[in-house]
Chain A
Amino acid sequence: MFKEDFLRSVLETALSRGGDHADVFIEETMDNRIGFNDRKVSSISSGIVQGAGIRVITGKAYTYLYANDVDEARLMELARSSAEARAAGTAGTAKALADRGLAPLHGYGLLPDSVDMARKVELVRRADAAARAHAAVIDQVFVNYWDVRQRVTVAASDGSFMNEDRVRTRFTVRAIAARGDRKEEGYYAPGKSQGFEFFDRFTPEKVAAEAARVACVCLEADHAPSGVMPVVIDNEFGGVIFHEACGHALESSSVADDASVFTGKLGQAIAAPCVNAVDDGTIANEWGSARYDDEGLPTRRNQLIKDGVLTSYLVDRVGQAKMGIPANGCGRRESYKFAPTSRMSNTFIEPGKHTLEQLIASVDRGLYCRRMGGGSVNPATTDFNFAVAEAYLIEGGKLGMPVKNATLIGKGADIIMNIDMVADNLDIGGTGMCGAASGSIPANVGQPAIRVGGLVVGGRA
């Protein structure tokens, strides 16, 4: 641990040739990963990530330098290199550091370091057995266990200072169902900001059964239809559609550079009136939660869209410098190897008044997406694409045959205008890793079921 006075001198050194703001991010992370496949423990790895990064913001620009294996001498050397990266200017100052001292966002029942490796290995064996027991057609199972403990310190020249101990646990099962030459897979991968108590709720049997169920459905599925049709997207990971189609384009990293369709749209209707959307990093024990962001600011619940009107962007400190809008606790990064930027945490559409059954009954011919896969978006155009992991035809208001290999495409700016029904079954627990300029970070998505008119479904039938 570095003393506060020393960190202040690091920040002053970084600002010695000018700069409006400096911060230092110091990290020590320990993780354990277990891989299991082909009925065997296939890998076990444990390790330590340790390093620090120094950022200086000058006007609308920034410099970022990082190194690993840092001690006091190396950190100070990094600060001097940071100063030398800029043309000489008037030295900036760093205020005395004062710990924000907020109470932890959540507690951890059983820290992963305190659990014997043998108990962790037992979990992956149980998942394998449960997936195979689900159906005779399950012929291969891949299981991954991951626990990670990240200890973070952020000190900034405005005097802010924080320490946070972040623990996360994730359990992934990929089941393959086979018949003849045909192979289909199902996948389920929940995660939480929890210790070993995570497995009280997400037992290996429960996660394995869900992955195996999806694989079995896909084995019976025909190719998805092609064309434009209404789509009902169910809750939990269905929220990836808002995350990709709209959320990324609300991040200041694209908004501030006029590289988002939502630039300049604050206060304007950008979505249907039934759409209310939130990014909330403060939900206890959720996958994307933390007390502080990686710029040292407290996380917040940010109402992004209220009754269809754009009410907030996600703004980091560089975005604040560029846009003049205060940073709102969303500066995140994978590790010290990335400068932070505006990112989502737990992002979801709030519940509406309909039921899922009403949404399905309202569609004459369309698609019901029970589980979504991943997707991506171009924030400048909001062109998006999503894979659907489990889908069914809707015919005459009733669920029909399962279909596979469907992709949904369109423009995010259009889709949020075309959401015309929102159900009441909100589930925010869709676990994912979100990749962008500041690396791969834990992010949750969620929503209640929504109905969207006129989406392009890319199938083959």
Chain B
Amino acid sequence: MKDDMKELLQSALRGKSGAVELMGARDEEFSVSAFRGTIDSYNKSGSGGCGARALSGRRLGRAYSERLDPASVAAALSMAERNASFMDDDEGNALYDGTGEKLHHEGAGCVRLSDAEAKRFVLELEEACKAADPRVVNVPMNQYAHVSGSRGIANAAGMYRGGSDSLVYAGSYLMASQGDETETGFHVICTRDSKALDIGLIARTAASRATDKLGGTQPESGARRCVLDGEPAGALIGAFLGNIDAEAMQKGASKLAGRVGERVGCELFTVIDDPAAPGFGKRRFDDEGVDSPALTLFDRGVFAAPLYTVYSAKREGARPNGRGFRPGIQSRATASIINGFIAPGALDLAALFREAGSGVYVTELEGLHAGLDPVSGDFSCGAKGFAIEGGQRGRPLKNFTVSGNFYELIKDIAALANDRRLDSYERFTSPSLLLGSLSISGK
């Protein structure tokens, strides 16, 4: 956070007596990528802006501006006040009435590569991918990037929250062929220390993800025992966590409404959201200025805590729990996980296969953004994976779908592995899961 952000926000609020709040944001990004031995793209950016929220009675208006001169910031405040006048009266509309100053600079020690180092890195990454397996025929993407973002939140009563974070990431996307068949593999590592960007690991993982799928066949349709790999498991279950947003529950868009304290999953299903745990999301307060403690969301199958914004908390007389997330200055605060995960088990992946005996190991789910109904919990997605035969990973499988229902799935977890990724760029991660049964559509 540059020092002038606080000054800019506080000077715009000077003399304001009403309930008004400003969020300032600055983001910087650098990325470079290589293709066929040359640097084929180089991107650098700096951008930012200011989002205003104004409360009039129980009406809340918003406005934003990417222009940061004092007149534009003042105009955004006026627009927010105007927009508030067109809102409906709603008991939930409020701004956090925090005071004092809190700062959280997470990525201050983030070690980045220089421009020259980054260019060398991506060229070496492409070479490593090509060398990883003779069946790798093309590596269209080899990228390194570092990103940093800072946020400042100030209100007319003198509250200030300043936070920043920095990350580096690198990854490759490649194609492997055998005869007429082509498969693709992708691997990216996200970290706060560029020394953790292991070229060999990225190349080997991306290459094996492509080559292992070659020769895949279509499975028979039917209900099967499944091992759902940690990455698709995190993506699938994470996509349904909008149902623990208190606002969705209040507004009839979640089947978990009124079920806090009730057993909805099996004993093995524990979900924690801990902003201090290892992982991608790190923050001590949310985008409304509220402190963000660690939460147990599901405790051994019992739905333990919804995610609250200031709005949804006020609607039911609860305390906000610091999950108000604004993806950008233009955004409304909506509830979100910060750094969530399914508590892992003790088994390794091989033990999960032994436990399964036979079935399907699902390594990729496609089309999650479209193939699920967040309200009913139903999902049906394209998938890739492997047969589980004799307690081991067997031949590759492709051209099939996996379908089921979120509420049934969380009751059907038979075992969990200990392989949750800590170098992922996802806000929600999972270990690999052994599921009693999923519906497979193939032949």
Contacts and interface: CB of A to CB of B under 8 A. Distances in A.
A227 B86 contact: no
Contacts of A460: 380, 403-404, 439
A67 B443 contact: no
A276 B439 CA distance: 36
A290 B417 CA distance: 51
Interface in A46-101: 46-51, 59-69, 81, 85-86
B114 interface: no
A65 B62 CA distance: 29
Contacts of A49: 66
B375 A259 contact: no
B130 to A, nearest CB: 13
B68 interface: yes
B252 A176 contact: yes
Interface string B382-405: 100000000000000011111110
Interface stretch (B37-45, B271-279, B343-351, B428-436): B37-45
Contacts of B140: 254, 257-259, 380
Contacts of A387: 367, 370-372, 380
B330 interface: yes
A399 interface: no
B82 A61 contact: no
Nearest to B375: A183
Given A63-B43, A378-B184, A458 B68 contact: no
Contacts of B330: 45, 47
Contacts of B194: none
A262 interface: no
- The majority secondary structure among interface residues of chain A is strand
A190 interface: no
Interface string A377-405: 01011011111000000000000000011
B371 A385 contact: yes
A121 interface: yes
Interface in B63-111: 63-69, 72, 76, 79, 82-84, 86-88, 90
Contacts of B62: 43-46
Contacts of B40: 60-62
A113 B19 CA distance: 27
B35 A405 contact: no
A456 interface: yes
B244 interface: no
B86 A117 contact: yes
22 contacts: A42-B90, A46-B62, A47-B64, A48-B64, A48-B65, A59-B38, A60-B40, A61-B41, A68-B48, A69-B49, A181-B255, A183-B376, A185-B373, A254-B140, A337-B45, A376-B367, A380-B140, A380-B182, A380-B184, A409-B366, A459-B380, A459-B439
State the 6 A-B residue pairs at the shortest beta-carbon distance, nearest first. Answer: A458-B401, A374-B370, A385-B382, A385-B367, A226-B441, A47-B64
Interface of A: 35, 37-38, 40-51, 59-69, 81, 85-86, 117-118, 121, 139-140, 142, 176, 178, 181-185, 224, 226-228, 254, 257-259, 261, 337, 339, 373-376, 378, 380-381, 383-387, 404-407, 409-411, 456-460
Interface of B: 35, 38-49, 51, 60-69, 72, 76, 79, 82-84, 86-88, 90, 115, 138, 140, 175, 182-184, 218, 221, 250-253, 255, 329-330, 332, 366-367, 369-373, 375-376, 378-382, 398-404, 439, 441-443
